[in-house]
Copies of this chain bind each other. A is one copy, B any other.
Amino acid sequence: MGGSDAFGDRLAEAVRRTGVPGCVGLDPHLDRLPDAVARGVSPAEAARIFCLGAVEAVAGVVPAVKPQVAFFEALGAPGVAALEEVVAAARAAGLLVVLDAKRGDIGSTAEAYAHGTLDDDGPLGADAVTLSPYLGPESLAPFLVRCEQGKGVFVLVRTSNPGAGPWQVDGPDPVAPRVAAWVEAESARSAGATGLGSVGAVVAATVRDEAAAWRAAMPHAWLLVPGFGAQGGTLEDVRALVRPDGLGALVNSSRGVLFPRPGVGEDDWRAGIARRAGELAARLAPLGPGGAVSGKGAPKV
State A77–B116 Cα separation when bound (angstroms). 11
Residues in A158-175 with C-beta less than 8 Å from chain B: 159-168, 171-175
Among A110, A136, A162, max chain B CB count under 10 A is at A136
Q: Does A29 contact B (CB under 8 A)?
A: yes
Cβ-closest chain B residue relative to A179: B167
Q: Choose from B84, B112, B166 the contact partner of A178 (Cβ within 8 Å).
A: B166
Complex contacts, A106 vs chain B, CB 8 Å: 159-161, 164
Chain A residues close to B by CB (< 8 Å): 27, 29, 68, 70-71, 73-81, 84, 100, 102-110, 112-113, 115-116, 122-124, 132-139, 156, 159-168, 171-175, 178-179
Contact indicator B178/A164 (Cβ below 8 Å): no
22 pairs from A and B in contact (CB 8 Å cutoff):
A27-B109, A29-B108, A68-B112, A70-B109, A70-B113, A74-B122, A74-B123, A75-B123, A76-B122, A76-B124, A77-B84, A79-B123, A106-B159, A132-B132, A132-B135, A134-B134, A134-B159, A135-B156, A135-B168, A136-B164, A136-B166, A138-B162
Q: Is the CB of A80 within 8 A of B70?
A: no
Interfacial chain B residues near A110, Cβ < 8 Å: 70
- Tell me whether A136 and B165 are in contact (CB under 8 A): yes
The 3 A-B residue pairs with the shortest CB-CB distance, nearest first, are A76-B123, A138-B163, A77-B81
